[in-house]
Copies of this chain bind each other. A is one copy, B any other.
Amino acid sequence: MKTRDKILHKSLELFNELGEPNVTTLLISDELEISPGNLYYHFKSKTDILTEIFGWYEREINLLLESPNSATDIEDQWFFLHLIFENIAKYRFIYKDVVNVLERYDEVKARFQKIILKKREASLKILTSLQQQGSLRANDSELAALGEQIVLTATFWLNYKLITHGELTEDMLAQGVYQVISLVAPFLDDEQREQLNELKTAYL
């Protein structure tokens, strides 16, 4: 692996572990056992490193959100949600300090907001399709609040777990998926809700 790539990967690792504001360019170079000067040969600023990593995140999440996903099965939605949560966990440094990070990196802010918007659209699309096939019952106002609620929960689930339980653990993702699905559950018909309970005992 080239030095440039090593810097990016180590930065992501440290950002996630310690929080982006607590990671200095000196720490990154120290951990890689290269000189700070060397780091600045490859990147002209810390902003450049972060922006490039954000690009990875953006590409991966967009790929997910733009995938057809015309699935009607609850189990497929569960799987899709799990991929979303994996993406969030992989780039959790963005989420851990969202407000702060977005405030200090203006370009990233606009791009992140677009992603959130896209997530709300994707969320509404799934809900609407569930509604049209008759397995979900809700009026427009409920549907809108539900769509927003799903995105909010997905966005902040890890933070919530971090502040209440400290460390990130493996099962937190599955718990997050369940928490989101629970939001939809009360609007589902009996058959779908039954399927949900089976999934819960299987995965949790």
Contacts and interface: CB of A to CB of B under 8 A. Distances in A.
Interface of A: 19, 21-22, 96-100, 102-103, 112-113, 116-117, 142, 145-146, 148-149, 151-153, 155-157, 159-160, 162-164, 178-179, 182-183, 185-187
A21 B19 contact: no
Contacts of A102: 163
A102 B116 CA distance: 25
Contact of A156 (B103, B116, B156, B164): B156
28 contacts: A19-B100, A19-B103, A21-B21, A21-B100, A22-B100, A96-B99, A97-B97, A97-B99, A97-B100, A99-B159, A99-B162, A100-B100, A102-B163, A113-B164, A116-B163, A117-B164, A148-B179, A149-B183, A151-B160, A152-B156, A152-B160, A152-B179, A153-B153, A155-B156, A155-B160, A156-B156, A156-B159, A156-B160
Nearest to A112: B163
A147 to B, nearest CB: 11
Contacts of A146: 182
Nearest to A164: B116
Given A116-B163, A163-B116, A149 B100 contact: no
Nearest to A156: B156
Contact of A182 (B100, B116, B142): B142
Contacts of A117: 164
Contacts of A157: 152
A121 B159 CA distance: 20
Contact of A159 (B98, B113, B186): B98
A39 to B, nearest CB: 23
Given A97-B100, A116-B164, A149 B159 contact: no
Most chain B CB within a 10 A radius of its CB, from A113, A145, A185: A145
Given A97-B100, A99-B162, A100-B100, A185 B152 contact: no
Contacts of A148: 179
